[in-house]
Amino acid sequence: MSKKNAFYAQSGGVTAVINASACGVIEAAREYREQIGQIYAGQNGILGALREELIDVGEETVEAISALRHTPSGAFGSCRYKLKSLEENRAEYQRLIEVFKAHDIGYFFYNGGGDSADTCLKVSQLSKKMGYPIQAIHIPKTVDNDLPLTDNCPGFGSVAKYIAVSTKEAALDVASMCATSTKVFILEVMGRHAGWIAAASALAQQQQGDAPHIILLPEVAFDKARFLQKVQQTVTLHGYCVIVASEGAQYADGSFLADAGGVDAFGHKQLGGVAPTLAAMVKGELGLKYHWALADYLQRAARHIASATDVAQAYAVGYAAVEAAVAGKNAIMTTIVRGPAEQYTWSVGEAPLSQVANVEKNMPAEYISEDGFGISQAGRDYLAPLIQGEDYPPYKNGIPHYVSLKRQLVEKKLESEF
Amino acid sequence: MSKKNAFYAQSGGVTAVINASACGVIEAAREYREQIGQIYAGQNGILGALREELIDVGEETVEAISALRHTPSGAFGSCRYKLKSLEENRAEYQRLIEVFKAHDIGYFFYNGGGDSADTCLKVSQLSKKMGYPIQAIHIPKTVDNDLPLTDNCPGFGSVAKYIAVSTKEAALDVASMCATSTKVFILEVMGRHAGWIAAASALAQQQQGDAPHIILLPEVAFDKARFLQKVQQTVTLHGYCVIVASEGAQYADGSFLADAGGVDAFGHKQLGGVAPTLAAMVKGELGLKYHWALADYLQRAARHIASATDVAQAYAVGYAAVEAAVAGKNAIMTTIVRGPAEQYTWSVGEAPLSQVANVEKNMPAEYISEDGFGISQAGRDYLAPLIQGEDYPPYKNGIPHYVSLKRQLVEKKLESEF
């Protein structure tokens, strides 16, 4: 049997550590030269496969691949593109098979979140449904931390660390000025459906009374009166109040706070509108001076303050995906498994893709504090290990030295275009 | 002659390194025990002096003072409070003298920006105008980098580094997704009058075409048509466009872009409205998908990514202030002096406060690129050294281990209240 080539692609929103997973995949594939031939990466994710735009990873130096471990974002390009079902768009799958066949691809590694797991599952079924032999392995990645069957999702730990650190720093700033200046500070963070990122800000707390004083999760219905009461109480007690709000914070009827904000000068609804909406309430009803911040992409790109635990796990799930492939596995996702001991340990496991695709894991109720404005001890016990350790990138001239790959495309073999 | 005590206070917006200056002052004062008695710090800046709320620095351990070097924000509390002139409010100065006399204070160290330099100058004149012998030394601090007669202002280098690093990271994120997602990313940064902070984002550029592609400075009149043309050109050429905008970006008539934004649901003008205003233009006129971020306090509090050069300079200007005081100086500001060689060197100097107070240093025209959307080589040569080196704080449980002082107040000696 001749060696099959491998295809790797990045999918969906990128993270500070998705390239660490790519590094794990590629370094493992280079270890398993006996079993795996060439490694190709999709330019801009699965679109690269559909368009036959395959980056020849073999052209990249050992040093460049190694540097992926400390380089944020998607080095091969990512995309938001979900394959329809085989029944709905058979042509897309036929195209994939054409491209895979033309380049002798037998291994499919897909690095993404829930939607991508679904795509990966569909590819894994090509053998059975369309007679093309391929093994598809999913590598988890999402800052939203909402994939099931894995202890956490690579990418999340680093955002969590960024948010905890930023909350702590901004809170010190506000605390030192509150006697004569800003009393309320609001940080809006990612998380449209699950509040994991906002919850992680609680790790900034070291003792009673520490910021953040209020966390707004999508999982807890927003009650304006209770919120304003808590803000006022906090300002009275501590002199200031720090709030961390999920972009997906919502009222009991499911409507987003962000949608309650105004429209801009052009009549467009404002994106990322939770913080200004809350600020307006605080100013309008309590008359308190406020500031707010919107971290947006800064939070998920912040490799400079990545969690060492997250980087190690991202690398490991990538590496293990290749080991699973050469062991003959198909239709699985590599996972992170938490050890049973109180002292945090982890190992890599696997889960059937059929149980992963399209399942969203929200914050469980037992991780949320009784008043709904914070997290419980169980939540803290879950989150704390994920931000442990620093993994600083190298610096050159005062800024991180991130790698740019050559991204040389393999010559096309097909005449048809997608 | 008996030893006089020293008073130190933090003033105005805090920074990632103002406590490093405090550390320099206190460690120097402890070295000069022969000349300086007790060290008191104003609780919440000059208000602490007016209210006789003096923190007894002698109660803080050597370790705690040393940890100030890596702790952001104002450890003693800061305030926004500008003394009126002696003619306008003689009572305030009489109160200051009462408090200074009651606590035998002969040295006044004031750590702040332009307004604070003015206050410090007024205090320095108390000997001559009101017969109370005191030496007042100003220690520069402002993220705005707008003080004259010093090469740069402690606090600025660290914000500059944070903005350069964040711009680079967010740009990698946008670049990797732009084929199918966000095309335009806007980061709004501090700088209401001077564009230094926005300009520093240019340090993220390593080669032709690198982000940021457009920098909007308050010093360059905003021209909507030229801006939109440049955005479209950049997206056509590179696939995406990264914009860094000063909060003080303004039209030729001096009106702020931020004011052109909408009002929120409560009818309040939105703060920090440059980014959403630009985003609305980009979407409305070019139809491009955008994201934007507002770093707000995160940028000036970000001690986790402080510039080592900035930390060293902040400490040095604090230390030198004490040396100047024991050498009998009055009414000066310690400054940073750039060496003449191409290779960056710096030393500490001094400038007369009368030439510092109320003078604002904007970006000189020769630091701005010809098209006004970036910086020149001269600007780059000036800025680049200021972000050199990393100075990481220690971490505990995944977050920086910042110090909280005891802040024990000295017993009041006066019966009167302010």
**Among chain A residues, CA nearest to B81:** A180
Q: pTM for this structure?
A: 0.96
Mean pLDDT across the stretch A214-223?
Answer: 97
Query: Which residues of chain B have a CB within 8 Å of the CB of A280?
Result: 264-266, 268
Least confident of A73-87, A302-316, A370-384: A73-87
Query: Which of A169, A271, A307 lies nearest to residue B72, judging by beta carbons?
Result: A169
**A397 contacts in chain B (CB < 8 Å):** 203, 384, 388
- Active-site residue, selected from the candidate residues B144, B146, B310, B391: B144
Q: Which residues of A touch B14 (CB under 8 A)?
A: 173, 176-177
pLDDT of residue B270: 46
Whether residues B280 and A264 touch (CB distance < 8 A) is answered with yes
Minimum Cα–Cα distance from A291: chain B residue: B296
For residue range A141-186, what is the model confidence (pLDDT) as tens digits? 999 999 999 999 999 999 999 999 999 999 999 999 999 999 999 9
Residue B371 appears among annotated catalytic residues:
no
| Cβ neighbours for B413, distance < 8 A, ≥ 6 positions apart | B52, B102, B103
Q: What would you report as the CA-atom Rg of chain B, rounded to the nearest whole angstrom?
A: 23
Contact B172 A291 (CB under 8 A): no
pLDDT reported for residue B265: 42
Task: Check CB contact under 8 Å for B271 and A284.
Answer: no
Closest CA to B390 of A410, A224, A396, A90: A396
Q: Worst-scoring range by mean pLDDT, A256-265, A337-346, B181-190, B281-290? A: A256-265
Residue A364 sits at φ, ψ, to 5 deg, of: -70, 150
Closest alpha carbon within chain A to B12 = A177
Coil, strand or helix: which one is A35? coil
* Closest chain B residue to the Cα of A403, Cα to Cα: B172
A·B CB contacts under 8 A: 245
Of B173, B277, B296, the CB nearest to A73: B173
A-interface mutation test, from B172, B263, B292, most A Cβ less than 10 A away: B172
- The confidence score (pLDDT) of residue A260 equals 55
Quick one: average pLDDT of A101-108?
Answer: 97
Looking at B116-175, which runs of residues are DSSP E strands? 135-140
For A242, residues 6+ apart whose C-beta sits below 8 A from its C-beta are A167, A170, A171, A174, A184, A185, A186, A187, A211, A212, A213, A214
User: Does A292 have pLDDT greater than 60?
Assistant: yes
Q: Average pLDDT of B231-239? A: 98
Residue B294's φ and ψ, nearest 5 degrees, are: -130, 110
CB contact (8 A) between residue B280 and residue A301: no
Q: Do A180 and B81 touch (CB under 8 A)?
A: yes
Query: What distance in Å separates residue A119's CA from the closest CA in chain B?
Result: 17
Nearest-CB residue to B303 (from A169, A203, A294)? A169
Instruction: Please answer yes or no on whether A77 and B294 come within 8 Å at the CB atom.
Output: no
Residue where the block lists tokens 């404002």? A270
C-alpha distance from residue B108 to each of A128, B313, B323, B326, B330 (Å): 81, 20, 13, 12, 9
Place of tokens 């006004």: B372
Q: How far apart are CA B203 and CA B190, in angstroms?
A: 16
- Would you call B341 exposed, middle or buried from its count of C-beta atoms within 10 A (0-12, 13-18, 19+)? exposed
- Strands (E) located in A44-143: 54-56, 105-112, 135-140
Optimal mutation site among B15, B167, B169, interface A, most CBs of chain A within 10 A: B169
Chain segment B130-187, per-residue pLDDT in tens: 899 999 999 999 999 999 999 999 999 999 999 999 999 999 999 999 999 999 999 9
CB contact under 8 A, A170 and B301: yes
> What is the least distance, in Å, from the CA of B169 to any CA of chain A?
5
Nearest to A388 among B47, B296, B398 (CB): B398
Q: Do B44 and A180 touch (CB under 8 A)?
A: yes
Of A56, A104, A144, A391, catalytic: A144
Q: Report how far residue B242's alpha carbon sits from residue B373's, in angstroms, rounded to the nearest whole number.
A: 12
Question: Shortest Cα distance from B35 to chain A (angstroms)?
Answer: 30
Q: Which two tokens stand for residue A139?
A: 């590598």
Indicate yes or no: CB of A14 within 8 angstroms of CB of B384: no
**A234-248, B78-92, B146-160: which range is least confident on average?**
B78-92
Q: Pick the residue with more confidence: A269 or A230?
A: A230
User: Cα separation of A357 and B32, whole Å?
Assistant: 68
Handedness of CA B300, B301, B305, B306 (dihedral sign): positive
B292 DSSP β-pair partners: B186
Place of tokens 């190694």: A66
pLDDT given for residue A1 in this prediction? 52
- State the pLDDT at residue A416: 84
Residue B322: partners with Cβ closer than 8 Å, 6 or more residues away: B6, B24, B25, B28, B29, B31, B32, B36, B107, B109, B137
pLDDT in tens, A14-57: 999 999 999 999 999 999 999 999 999 999 999 999 999 999 99
The pLDDT confidence band at residue B84, using thresholds 50, 70 and 90, is confident
> What is the Cα B372 distance to its own chain's centre?
24
- Rounded to a whole number of angstroms, the distance from the CA of B292 to the nearest CA of chain A is 7
Q: How confident is residue B260, by pLDDT bands cut at 50, 70 and 90?
A: low
Structure tokens at B225: 């048509």
Bridge partners of A245, per DSSP, are: A188, A216
Cβ separation B264–A262 shorter than 8 A: yes
